[in-house]
Structure 1
Amino acid sequence: MKRFLLAAAVSLLTATSAMAQTVYLVRHAEKADAGADPALSEAGQARAAALAAMLADVHPGHIFTSPLQRTRLTAAPTAAFHSVTVEPISLDGGGAAHVAAIAERVRALPEDAVVLIVGHSNTVPPIARALGYAEAADMPECEYDRMTTLHLMGDTGAHGQVTRYGAPTTCP
């Protein structure tokens, strides 16, 4: 009987893991300048390459960004490696509408989808919260190395963890 219960528990855990969406959220990499729609700096290009290396074994099937080139350029090496098209999500209607649109797109995906979202310091935490990860901390403007990984469990919420990738960033 104990073996049966153990096997049933392992089976349930495996099934639950297989049914969770996995979402990776990062801020765009370092900008070349302070313009309205800047490209990436050399450090930013290196971080974008580090993101692709970090996600090499993950196989995201969907990549969402804002329409600004710094988010698209950050996602580009990962998209190229996995042969995935980057899908920019409009900023029309402001930040809250953008966050809601991304959350809606993620929720519409299959329950086993793997997603990369590249946003901004003022959108990444709200997106994580909109997806059910209430613990998402605000992100300072000087932080570029945070990766939040979420496992979305349907209506039961999200489990998340924060890791770092690429060169460490320091905030004053």
Structure 2
Amino acid sequence: MQMLLPILVGGIAMPNKIFVMRHAEKMDDPNDPNLSEAGRARAQALVKWFPEKFGRPDFIFATSISRHSERPIQTVMPLAENLGLPLNSTFADQDYGALAKLLLTEPKFAGKSILVCWHHGNIPSLMNRLGASVGTYPDPWNSKVFDLLLEADYTEAGQPKVSQITESF
């Protein structure tokens, strides 16, 4: 496998790819912060599907637990555990700007592959802060869509190339 060198934008080394996904399916009860049975099955399917399709991510992020939701963590925790990666859940849902700034400026993320699991309401704003062009990602995100993954590819100079990938399960 060819090693890609990080792209420099304004003297800053960029990640190679940032994958952004919504958490898996939720319970019908709006007060239940957990994944539904279908959501737990989707989280388990990610364990095999993501690495086979995209390779092993270097870092995994999920929004922090709130009184309304633990779903982003529950969605990617099985993958993180299977790969032996720590799961960073220090950013609250509204802190997408701080997360984007960290991912795009911190040298340890240069040339790396990063998976982010977020709430659908703030994914468009997160993508905007990651430099993605308007129109390359759903805005607003359809509240019924749980199987879409956005791939922001930074391996060329300029704005990331965004691909929308539907999970195959």
- TM-score, normalising length: structure 2: 0.78
Unpaired runs of at least 5, structure 1: 1-13, 168-172
Percent identity between the two aligned chains: 23
Partner amino acid, structure 2, of 1:73: Q
Structure 1 SS opposite 2:64: coil
* Residue of structure 2 in register with 1:64 after alignment: 61
Backbone CA RMSD of aligned residues: 2.1
Question: What does 1:5-154 align with in structure 2 at a 5 Å threshold?
Answer: 17-19=4-6, 20-36=15-31, 38-57=33-52, 58-68=55-65, 69-91=70-92, 95=94, 98-107=95-104, 108=106, 109-134=108-133, 135-138=136-139, 139-153=141-155
Task: Compute the displacement of 1:166 (Å).
Answer: 4.5
The range that moved more, 138-147 or 149-158, is 149-158
Q: Distance in 2 between matches of 1:100 and 1:111?
A: 18
- Give the partner amino acid of 2:21: V
Partner of 2:10: none
Count residues in correspondence: 149
Report the Cα offset of residue 110 of structure 1.
3.0
When structure 1 is superposed on structure 2, of 151-160 and 39-48 the one drifting more is 151-160
Give the secondary structure class of the aligned counterpart of 1:125. Answer: helix
What is the CA–CA distance in structure 1 between the aligned matches of 2:32 and 2:155, rounded to whole Å?
A: 35
The whole-number CA distance in structure 2 between the counterparts of 1:130 and 1:153 is: 17
The structure carrying a bigger helix percent of its residues is 1
Asked which structure has the greater RCO (Cα within 8 Å, sep 6+), the reply is 2
- 2: distance between equivalents of 1:37 and 1:119? 17
Structure 1 residue 86, shift from structure 2 partner: 0.8
**Structure 2 counterpart SS, 1:150:** strand
Aligned CA distance change for structure 1 residues 123 and 166 (closer, same or farther; 3 Å) = farther
> 1:157 aligned to 2:156?
no
Q: Distance in 2 between matches of 1:133 and 1:37?
A: 32
1:65 Cα shift?
A: 0.9
Following superposition, the deviation at residue 155 of structure 1 comes to 6.2
Alignment-mate amino acid for residue 21 of structure 1? N
Deviates more, 1:141-150 or 1:60-69: 60-69
**In structure 2, what is the Cα distance between the partners aligned to 1:149 and 1:83?**
22
Is the contact between residue 146 and residue 164 of structure 1 (CA under 8 Å) also seen in structure 2? yes
Q: For the structure 1 residues 24 and 154, does the alpha-carbon distance in structure 2 shift closer, same or farther, using more than 3 Å as the test? A: same
Shift of the alpha carbon at 1:90?
2.9
Alpha-carbon displacement from aligned partner over 1:117-160 (angstroms, at most 9, x marks no partner): 00011122221221111222221111101000111248622111
Decide which structure has the larger Cα Rg and report it. 1
> What amino acid does structure 2 have at the position aligned with 1:61?
D
TM-score normalised per structure 1:
0.77
